[in-house]
Chains A and B, each alone.
Chain A
Amino acid sequence: MIEITHLFSALGDPTRFAIVTKLLRDGAQPAGQLQSVAEMSAPAISRHLKILRDAGLVHQRVAGQSRIYSVVPAAVQAIHGWTMDHETFWTGSLERLEAALEEHDKS
Chain B
Amino acid sequence: MTTVTMERVFKAAPDTVFKFVTQTDHLLRWWGPEGMHVPEHNLSFEAKGPWMSTMQNEEGQKFKVSGHVTHVEAPHSVGFTWAWHDENNARGVESHVTIKLVPDQSGGTKFTLTHAELPGDEVAQNHVEGWTSSLRRLNAIAN
Binding site for B on A (CB under 8 A): 3-5, 8, 11, 17, 20-21, 24-25, 71, 73, 76-102, 104-105
Contacts and interface: CB of A to CB of B under 8 A. Distances in A.
A20 B139 CA distance: 12
Contact of B141 (A25, A81, A92): A25
B142 A76 contact: yes
Interface residues of B, number: 39
Contacts, number: 96
Contacts of A91: 6, 33
B61 A78 contact: yes
Contacts of B36: 92
Interface in B76-102: 82, 87-88, 95
A47 B110 CA distance: 57
Contact of A94 (B87, B113, B135): B113
Interface of B: 4, 6, 8, 10-12, 16-17, 20-21, 26, 29-34, 36, 57, 59, 61, 63, 82, 87-88, 95, 111, 113, 115, 131-132, 134-139, 141-142
A92 B135 contact: no
Contact of A80 (B4, B6, B88, B139): B139
Contacts of A98: 8, 10
Contact of A92 (B21, B26, B33): B33
Chain A interface, >50% SS class: helix
A90 B6 contact: yes
Contacts of B26: 100
Given A76-B139, A77-B59, A79-B135, 17 more contacts: A5-B88, A24-B142, A71-B142, A73-B142, A79-B139, A83-B139, A84-B33, A89-B33, A90-B115, A93-B30, A94-B30, A96-B30, A96-B32, A96-B33, A97-B21, A101-B11, A101-B20
A86 B138 CA distance: 19
